Chain A
Amino acid sequence: MTVSKWTAAKIARKVIDKKELFILDVRNADAFADWKIEGHKFDYLNIPYFELLDGVEGILPQLPEDKEILVVCAKEGSSVMVAEMLSEAGREVAYLEGGMKSWSSYLEPIKAADLENGGELYQFVRLGKGCLSYMVISEGEAAIFDAVRFTDVFINFAKEKGAKIKHVFDTHLHADHISGGRHIAAETGAFYYLPEEDAAEAVFDYTPLTNNLNVKIGASQINVSALYSPGHTIGSTSFMIDNKFLLTGDILFIDSIGRPDLAGLAEDWVGDLRDTLYSRYRELAEDLVVLPAHFMIIDELNEDGTIARRLGDLYKENHGLNIEDEAEFRRTVTDQLPPQPNAYEQIRQVNMGKLNPDHGEQTEMEIGPNRCAVR
């Protein structure tokens, strides 16, 4: 039997199209429990590769005959070994090229909306990590929001669309992933904006992102305006695009809200978070479509793979927006927090320009889920 090599892109399509897949994950049990490839119709078997060194015969009965089988490990090596053993045992299997490292890195660009006069809004879905980045394209100009560190993906995408990148924004200083924002700006000559309150320790030049800052994209003047919305960080800023879309950064997600503790100041910022969610956003039009900077679980994906929901619907359905008692809200976002993201303190240092890890070290820092939310 042959062993085939699948790319992360191929698996991303299976997730979005809700296809069936059987994943044999050969990482150790802790790694699997912490983080895996999520799919609506995926089934899993976790057997560490080091328990299969004497042979795979023992697990053959547990592998379905009627589904495609994908072997997954951290970097690829062990999955190739196990896939070849299964192939010799007569089973047709595939392995994930580059392992979970490549899954964590893969970005799927999906069109989220058509804007005025042929403008487009794209959401870049990083399925493996739950990060969402955005690009607005309008008549030869582009603006990017919360770009992750794979700068080539954004630069090449804009190039293919014939658009020059003019503005690059980060809604806040990220703690769960390394920003590509300032590097894209440096390479393309675009402006790089960061909220000043978050960037006090930053060692690079940037344009301060202030409340009500307004830029126009392209000849059709797609409007992008900033709305100061602190709580996840003291500088967290949202964006209104074309008066139809609300980029909420890490303040409001589809099924959860932002956590106030990743810069170490949960007690101080919980009041800001409450004001933003229960006052500032409340005053906005309910028909705005919320586009967050993260998703947490695969169920948040819409049919087309995008992660987007009407603000008015979130006020009905999102638990974090429906805690009337302020003391209870405070407890929810300070007491029962999930574990912090992997290496979040180092990642903040990188995003301030104080640490400059190489590519391999960046990959290590970003291993695991994003964990920026409170449910």
Chain B
Amino acid sequence: MNITKTLDAKGLTCPMPIVKTKKAMDTLNSGEILEVLTTDKGALSDIPAWVKSGGHTILEQKTEVETLYFYIQKA
């Protein structure tokens, strides 16, 4: 997977992980991939819901210890 950009949103609480994810996605071109790191458990349901509403795609997501990783491909 070619990660275009990484957003480290660890330690930030809702709504900041999504606010920052949206800003980072705005800088990407179609097809490029954003990696998001967050420790906010709310992101587990909110990021997939936001991705879906924006027509983007989650290529992979995983949890390592306390950190959630999302790999989002821009529509």
A73: chain B residues at CB < 8 Å are 14
The yes or no answer to B10 lying at the interface (CB within 8 A) is no
CA distance A53 to B45 in the complex (A): 17
A50/B13 contact (C-beta < 8 A), A30-B45, A74-B42 known = no
B19: chain A residues at CB < 8 Å are 53, 81
The yes or no answer to B53 lying at the interface (CB within 8 A) is yes
CA distance A31 to B41 in the complex (A): 14
Which residues of A65-105 have CB atoms within 8 Å of chain B's CB atoms?
A: 73-75, 77-78, 81
Which residues of B27-55 have CB atoms within 8 Å of chain A's CB atoms?
A: 41-42, 45-46, 49-50, 53
The residue from B15, B45, B49 contacting A78, defined by CB atoms under 8 A apart: B15
- A74 and B22 form a contact (CB under 8 A): no
The yes or no answer to B75 lying at the interface (CB within 8 A) is no
CA distance A77 to B41 in the complex (A): 14
Interface size class of B (residues with CB under 8 A): 10 to 19
Closest to B42 in A: A74
The total of Cβ contacts below 8 Å across the A-B interface reads 40
CA distance A74 to B46 in the complex (A): 11
A28: chain B residues at CB < 8 Å are 45-46, 49
The residue from A51, A74, A364 contacting B14, defined by CB atoms under 8 A apart: A74
B45: chain A residues at CB < 8 Å are 28, 30-31
The yes or no answer to A44 lying at the interface (CB within 8 A) is no
CA distance A77 to B16 in the complex (A): 8
B16: chain A residues at CB < 8 Å are 77
B72: chain A residues at CB < 8 Å are none
A50/B42 contact (C-beta < 8 A), A74-B14, A75-B14 known = no
The residue from B15, B41, B53 contacting A364, defined by CB atoms under 8 A apart: B41
A75: chain B residues at CB < 8 Å are 13-14, 42
- B13 and A77 form a contact (CB under 8 A): yes
The yes or no answer to A297 lying at the interface (CB within 8 A) is no
The yes or no answer to A369 lying at the interface (CB within 8 A) is no
- A81 and B15 form a contact (CB under 8 A): yes
Q: Nearest-CB distance from A82 to chain B (Å)? A: 8
- B50 and A50 form a contact (CB under 8 A): yes
CA distance A364 to B46 in the complex (A): 16
CA distance A364 to B42 in the complex (A): 10
CA distance A7 to B15 in the complex (A): 20
B14: chain A residues at CB < 8 Å are 73-75, 77-78
The residue from B18, B41, B42, B49 contacting A53, defined by CB atoms under 8 A apart: B18
Q: Nearest-CB distance from A316 to chain B (Å)? A: 43
Q: Nearest-CB distance from A47 to chain B (Å)? A: 11
- B22 and A50 form a contact (CB under 8 A): yes
A29: chain B residues at CB < 8 Å are 49
Q: Nearest-CB distance from B7 to chain A (Å)? A: 15
CA distance A167 to B41 in the complex (A): 38
- Other than A48-B49, A74-B14, give 14 A-B pairs with Cβ distance below 8 A: A31-B45, A48-B46, A50-B49, A50-B50, A50-B53, A51-B50, A51-B53, A53-B18, A53-B19, A73-B14, A77-B13, A77-B14, A77-B15, A364-B41
Chain A residues proximal to chain B, CB less than 8 Å: 28-31, 48-51, 53, 73-75, 77-78, 81, 364
Closest CB pairs A-B (n = 9): A50-B50, A78-B15, A28-B49, A77-B14, A50-B18, A81-B15, A53-B22, A49-B15, A77-B15
List 16 A–B pairs whose Cβ atoms lie within 8 Å, in order of A's numbering: A29-B49, A30-B45, A30-B49, A48-B46, A48-B49, A49-B18, A50-B15, A50-B46, A50-B49, A50-B53, A51-B50, A53-B22, A73-B14, A74-B14, A78-B15, A81-B19
